[in-house]
Chain A
Amino acid sequence: MAYKIIDRCVGCGMCRKICPVACIAGRPRKLHEVDRQRCIDCGACGRICPHGAVLDHLGRLCERIRRRALQWEKPLFDYERCMSCSACIDACPANCLAVTYSQDTQDRKAYPYLADPTACIACQFCALECPVDAVAMKAEADMDETQKKSLDGPFASSV
């Protein structure tokens, strides 16, 4: 498996900076290279590369997705379904999820939420690994107001 950078690479370094496991090496303006042993197939390099220079784990050319235009997908949690098992938090290679809970001792549930939205690389691993499918991925640009608010966790709207 593993992703691969082809010679269209101009050495801009965007992939190297975003790779959550730091497995891309390369000097500025030189061809970059993926350490195939350590690549986790998260796809972030392929989504970010402005020059169409990344092949995915099946050898297909990755399509750039506009991050600034909020086209990258982010996790939306179904808190009714969620069983607080924290598998999503552990699955996240960017460590951008955390739990939150209310100080109200009647509600003793721990809720996962996107604590560091700018770090999210849209890899979907959280959704993939959630055993009860309580995570749905959606591009922020396509979210309605309630969904956007819910990104800040279950208690954000009540503040």
Chain B
Amino acid sequence: MGHASMGKIMWVDLGRGTIKIESIPDTLYQKVLSGVGLAAHLLYERIPSGADPLGPDNILGFVSGLLTGTGSLFTGRWMVTGKSPLTGGWGDANCGGNFSPAIKRCGVDGIFFTGISPRPVYLWADKGRAELRDATELWGRDTVETEEILKQQADGRGLRVACIGPAGEKQSLIAGVANDGGRMAARSGLGAVMGSKRLKAVALSGGQRIPVHDRETIKTLSQQCNEAVQFHPPFLNGIMMAYTGTLMRLLPMQMAFDGMLYKLMLDKYGTASLNQIMVEVGDTPIKNWKGSNEDFDRDRSVNLSPEIFTDTMVVKYHCYSCPLGCGGLMAKNSAWSGGHKPEYESVMALGGLLLNDDAESIYTLNDMLNRAGMDTISAGGTVAFAMECYEKGLLTRDDTGGLELTWGNSAAIVQLVEKMIRREGIGDLLADGSRAAAGRIGRQADRLAMHAGGQELGMHDGRYDPGFALHYCVEPTPGRHTIGSQMYYEMFRLWERVPELPDVSLVYTKGSKYESEDDKISAAAACSRFMNVLNGTGTCLFGAFLGVERLPLFEWLNAATGWDRSPADYMAIGERIQTLKQAFNVKHGVDPKSFKANPRTLGIPPQTAGANAGRSVAVDAMMRAYWQRFGWDPATGKPGEAVLKRWGIKTKPSD
């Protein structure tokens, strides 16, 4: 048996109610790692082409990471995987908390569900035993309640729960899977898949040890990494950061971003640190991507300042094995019963994107959505779409059931989201995201839906950092802000370990960001490959922002597994995983070109005001060059037989 992995996975057939264990040879981990790689390998081969994402043939997988539980840091992330009902292709979503080690402590690296249960059930795994239990009593409950009830039944023992809320039960295509009190594996709509299977929750409490090859070396590396994390110089406050953002916007030059700076921001405020500074520089999309920082200036964004979201924080929240703790548990306030601090993505998708600067409403919305188990980004993106439809007369007061869907009308936003969660009236129209809603409205409403391949875009503007635009359009999971960008590449500092990769200059002109150059394509491809390694190992993106000299990912991997691989070897595994995911999409009839994001988000036509005025991203050329970099057909984005063979990927997976 190998090290770091558990060497086994669990299969649960919900139709038959049976559970079995499958052994995984160490050679497979060597090819695809664990986590997303293992899931992509299995699901590519085993989900039949044309399978209905909400039907019995879809496979829903919960996977941990190869480094989770080995004594490495920032490695407590898990993923839910399956065929996405939102995009029709490969689906995955990532989350932290304490669920990732819980999977391995049950003696497996992943739990995979097939079929559809005749009645609501949850999986219970405790002390080496696993069974399906009736979930009739839990059906209809929100994610936080569900977890609390299951924990009470566990009698104080260390139970870890992942579950869906009402949104997943109602198969909203923008539903996610929650764990640890409403943290969300939100993207790709996999909560709907869980709902379609009538699987309410996965509740785990195992005590297995996680084998490691060389614990002493891992500890030494972890202690070095922790020293960088515990560096705490005096630091800027929120309003100073907002002015820094303004200054950054006005300067013609840009400085390469060092992850140490972002570490300080995350340490103090979590992702909420970005709330104002990113509006100021032009990274935050405003008013359904047609507005700019001028529509949401400092006087408005100050109402959503980092301090607003951290002043009532009671304690920092760390995911498993995290030395940083970007999360926070908050005291109760008038709008809200306490719980996890709202994240930047949620604040801006429900804030700036809707011209809403009412912080109370954002607390309320964030809590409602986390409890319902609905993606805050997609929910915000869909409300923004509805608001613009309302403005343009594509939706009327009759359609909205009397709601006045004007920009920034926070009371109406709350009521609309409530309807979406319940699938009531207009809420039913919107509960499957902006693309599906646009399809039902017709009359070219799709022009107002800011998605890529059906997935609402993250709150980072490709017109500010064209790297985001490219990854939104080109990834097998489109619309995702957590894979790559020019700024991410600067922070990852991969060239320090993989010498073939291009270094970045410390200072460059802003205009040069928009030129499609060879180095930028290399950087983007490297981000995708690296992110697959991170997601195969359960590593947090924010840890990776420290840069590979401070986050010794490759060194941890060798020490944990006992393998002797170079960073370039691991990056090659990342490339194999990327190809697997793309092959999955092709197998399921997805045209990679169709993932191109709404032209407005690419600056076509360019904006006339604000931080990104006059900018557009030549994304077609970049997409072709990116595909070519992976050896895929640059005209279609499809990996050919030769490249599949090169990576040992079956060219004709069963049906």
Chain A interfacial positions (CB closer than 8 Å to B): 20-23, 35, 37-38, 40-41, 83-87, 89-90, 92-93, 95, 99, 101, 103, 105, 108-110, 125, 128-129, 131-133
Contact = CB atoms under 8 A, between A and B. Distances in A.
Interface stretch (B9-17, B320-328, B468-476): B320-328
B222 interface: yes
B315 A101 contact: yes
B402 interface: no
Most buried by A among B127, B158, B207, B209: B207
Contact of B315 (A40, A110, A125): A110
B315 A108 contact: yes
Interface residues on B, range: 35 or more
Given A83-B323, A84-B325, A131 B127 contact: no
B629 interface: no
B272 interface: no
Contacts of B73: 85, 131
B370 interface: no
Contacts of B208: 21, 38, 40
B157 A95 contact: yes
B222 A131 contact: yes
A23 B98 contact: no
Contacts of A21: 127-128, 206-208
Nearest to B126: A22
Given A87-B320, A109-B316, A40 B207 contact: yes
B313 A131 contact: no
Given A21-B128, A40-B209, A90 B219 contact: no
Given A83-B226, A132-B226, A101 B314 contact: yes
A23 B223 CA distance: 35
A131 B316 contact: no
B403 to A, nearest CB: 37
A22 B127 contact: yes
A131 B128 contact: no
Given A84-B316, A128-B215, A131-B226, 17 more contacts: A23-B127, A83-B226, A83-B323, A85-B73, A86-B318, A87-B71, A87-B320, A90-B69, A90-B320, A101-B314, A105-B313, A110-B315, A110-B318, A131-B218, A132-B219, A132-B222, A132-B223
Contacts of A131: 71-73, 218-219, 222-223, 226, 321
20 contacts: A38-B127, A40-B207, A41-B209, A84-B325, A85-B321, A85-B322, A85-B323, A90-B98, A90-B105, A95-B156, A105-B312, A108-B313, A108-B314, A108-B328, A110-B315, A125-B209, A131-B71, A131-B219, A131-B321, A133-B219
B61 interface: no
A85 B318 contact: yes
B380 to A, nearest CB: 28
Nearest to B223: A132
B321 to A, nearest CB: 5
A125 B207 CA distance: 11
- With a 10 A CB-CB cut-off, give which of A87, A125, A132, A133 has the most chain B CB atoms: A87
10 closest residue pairs by CB, A with B: A93-B207, A131-B222, A83-B323, A101-B315, A95-B158, A21-B207, A38-B128, A22-B127, A90-B101, A131-B71
A142 to B, nearest CB: 25
Contacts of A103: 314
Interface in B216-236: 218-219, 222-223, 226, 229-230
Nearest to A95: B158
Contact of B321 (A22, A87, A93): A87
Contacts of A92: 158
B292 to A, nearest CB: 35
Contacts of B325: 84, 110
A86 B322 CA distance: 8
Nearest to A128: B215
Nearest to A115: B156
Interface of B: 69, 71-73, 98, 101-102, 105, 127-128, 156-158, 206-209, 215, 218-219, 222-223, 226, 229-230, 311-318, 320-323, 325, 328
B128 A84 contact: no
Contacts of B318: 84-86, 110
Contacts of B128: 21-23, 35, 37-38
Contacts of A38: 127-128, 208
B23 to A, nearest CB: 13
Contacts of B101: 90
B229 A83 contact: yes
A134 B537 CA distance: 25
A20 B208 CA distance: 10
A86 B320 contact: yes
A83 B105 contact: no
A93 to B, nearest CB: 4
Contacts of A85: 73, 318, 320-323
A132 B230 CA distance: 12
Contacts of A22: 127-128
Contacts of B311: 105
Contacts of A99: 315
A114 to B, nearest CB: 14
A98 B71 CA distance: 19
Nearest to B318: A84
A131 B71 CA distance: 5
A44 to B, nearest CB: 11
A124 to B, nearest CB: 12
A41 B206 CA distance: 14
Nearest to A38: B128
B203 to A, nearest CB: 14
Nearest to B105: A90
A83 B227 CA distance: 10
Nearest to B312: A105
Nearest to B324: A83
Residue with the greatest number of chain B CB neighbours at <10 A, chosen from A83, A95, A109: A83
A132 B226 CA distance: 8
Contacts of B157: 95
A132 B127 CA distance: 28
B321 A105 contact: no
Contacts of B219: 131-133
Which of A38, A84, A90 has the most chain B CB atoms inside 10 A of its CB?
Answer: A90
Nearest to A22: B127
A57 to B, nearest CB: 11
